[in-house]
Amino acid sequence: MNILILSVMICLGFCLGSFIHCAISRFLPDQTMIQYFKEIIFSRSKCPHCHKKLNILSLIPIFSWLKQRGRCKYCLAIIPIDYLITELIVGIYCLGITYCYNLTVWSIILIFIGLYYALLAIIDFKYLLLPNYLTYPLLLTGLLFAYFDVGLITFYDALFGAIYGYTLLSIPAAVYYLIKKRAGLGGGDIKLLAALGTWLPVTELVNLLLYASIVGITYFIIYKAIVRPIEKNILVPFGSCLLICAYLRLLILSFN
């Protein structure tokens, strides 16, 4: 693999990591689609302490945090290290995908779809929410790539996968509601599985539910035993579990 290509990809990863951190930190549960997109695209970055707008040199990934020694250049308040960590992780991630899958159209898609999965997973983990304006684009792009024969499945398989994925969770959710008179599964999780059905072979969806359930149960046990043993009603971010397992399966199937 050309060292220049790898260098470009890791630098691209640093920039994408900065953007993903911005997209996560600026999300609020009560935002509309317009408000959210306006916030992450048009709003200037600023110090969360003194609210001073940052200049170009303060926005360079990795370099700006190190140069300023983790402090705001205006008020000297500490800049959380998670900015730096996110940029480093995404940079290494982009480097790893490029190295393992070479620089192709599909490997670029894998990088961006992985970051989109991560965005959705973190939002669901923090807020137990999967907004339609973030879930529907995942479904539409899955159908679009399948239509142009870019990906693992055909357009008709993707279309059937969306219907099948929606059915797999909507029927059990409806039955649970009829019996318990309360929702046992969020509508966002149902739409998410439909969207994931446009990316993965339909034969993977049942297994995906099994893997995600194992991850969810493990999370529940650890959370219950270590974090909050007294708390009775613990809600599991099942969408996050689905996204983690779906992306791992996507990587494995792409490697074969």
Q: What pLDDT is attached to residue 107?
A: 94
Most confident of 153-167, 172-186, 219-233: 153-167
Using pLDDT thresholds of 50, 70 and 90, give the confidence band for residue 184.
low
Question: Three-state SS for 149?
Answer: coil
* pLDDT tens-digit series, residues 15-34: 999 999 999 999 999 999 99
Q: What share of the chain is helix, strand, coil (3-state, %, to 5)?
A: 70, 0, 30
- Residue 53 has a pLDDT of 84
SS3 240: helix
pLDDT > 90? residue 80: no
**Of 111, 106, 116, the residue nearest 139 (C-alpha):** 116
User: Which phi and psi (to 5°) does residue 28 adopt?
Assistant: -130, 140
